[in-house]
Amino acid sequence: MTARILVVDDIPANVKLLEARLSAEYFDVLTADGGAKALAICNNEQVDIVLLDIMMPDMDGFEVCERLKANPTTAHIPVVMVTALDQPADRVRGLKAGADDFLTKPVNDLQLISRVKSLVRLKTMSDELRFRAETAKTIGVGDPIGDSGAVEKPGRVLLVDGRASSQERIIKALKPVAEVFALAEPGNALFEAAENDYEMVIVNSNFDNFDPLRLCSQLRSLERTRFLPLLLVTEQGDDAMVVRALDLGVNDYIVRPLDPNELVARTLTQIKRKRFNDRLRENLNHTMELAVIDGLTGLNNRRYLDNHLKILFNRAAARGRPLSVCITDIDRFKQVNDTHGHDAGDEVLREFATRLRSTVRGADLACRYGGEEFVVVMPDTSVDLAASVAERLRSIIEDRPFVLRSGRELHITASLGIATNTVAVETPEQLLRQADRALYEAKNTGRNRVVASAA
């Protein structure tokens, strides 16, 4: 794993020490001796993580962190504050400024490298989602993703804690910001987390006969909980557990005795990050859907047809099974647009798609081919059966008028051409061309009819 790390400290010896430790792990290291220079580097260079000193003369670390998080260009760069300050109030202030973690001087090498690697993994995942969202927005099929910086409603937190007194303290501390469901039995936690809509899991390491890291590992391994933020509660000085936890993918940790304000700040950070990444994933899924779905009719579009028809064609050829294609075209559709307007034409297309869906079978693939043309791909379907399906569709289109929102009724018909894979048909493109020729014949011989390709 490699990444570009920016070390910010006004004391050259501290910079050299961190630079040497990180370079030994093959990280690319940049340095800055003050806040203003650090902000400029983050604005103009690719930076994956900032290791930030707090006590600096020109601009303290809190202000640098706040400025980084307020700038959309740099808001998603993880910040780790490296400081001699070790009071809970300082950690809370840093977390509220947007810091992801604290390392106390002198820095423990194992914790430093483990925390950096953990944050690099998280940033890589988040960056990939953001880049895809930005690409989708650029080509006009994605929605903008905002990051309000606030948690608008209480989060849902699963607490796995073996002691009732500890559960009570954590529930009380988080009451203003989260609904907490507590479990004392870790064996039930994996099922509970997978079956319910939690936004974070807190695992306390206070069990006598259970390794809390085993639960963390299971949560990371299960598909439904893989991206669920994990916060580990550990004993002061248990560096070995912290290092192993970060290597397993635990997002954050907090040491006992718990400071309620720090617990709240860390919890809000994780919930906010999860909600942001969830919005990115939803946007990506929506974008992928838009890429293969026709926005007007809700049917699959030609892009999807071109890709999926190849799969169905090759599968049919390998299994020696029939595959039929039907291309249908709305008769005299131009007259609908010219006489009643394009809005009326859109209504007809939507209703046509609805009737098409009601006709095709579950295994069939219905697509809008373009304009007023539609395609139905029918696996395991002979030409005679395909003709029967096509005739049923033709009849459904003709028998009942299309009623516009204005109340006007339009009598619509359709022409349909069918082709089936044979020895002579060697490619899906050839199959479509044969169906198109059959459609052309249907149009030229009177419309409102089904014609099967002779070849």
Say how far apart CA 265 and CA 91 lie, in whole Å: 9
Q: 395 with 414: CB under 8 angstroms?
A: no
Q: 437 with 425: CB under 8 angstroms?
A: no
Say how far apart CA 155 and CA 197 lie, in whole Å: 10
DSSP 213-231: HHHHHHHHHSGGGTTS-EE
Tokens at residue 390, please? 């096509």
Q: 103 with 81: CB under 8 angstroms?
A: yes
Q: 402 with 351: CB under 8 angstroms?
A: yes
Tokens at residue 181, please? 């469901």
Q: Is residue 347 annotated as part of the catalytic site, yes or no? A: no
Instruction: Say which amino acid occupies 215.
Output: L
Whether the ω angle into residue 176 lies within 30 degrees of 0, i.e. cis, is no
Q: Which helix (H) or strand (E) holds 430?
A: helix 428-444
Q: 224 with 190: CB under 8 angstroms?
A: no
Q: 263 with 95: CB under 8 angstroms?
A: no
End-to-end CA distance of the chain: give it in Å, rounded: 58
Counting every residue written for the chain, the total comes to: 455
Tokens at residue 217, please? 């590992």
Say how far apart CA 359 and CA 346 lie, in whole Å: 20
3-state secondary structure labels for all residues of 292-331: HECCCCCCECHHHHHHHHHHHHHHHHHHCCCEEEEEEEEC
Q: Given 199, 262, 347, 372, which residue is catalytic? A: 372
Active site residues: 372
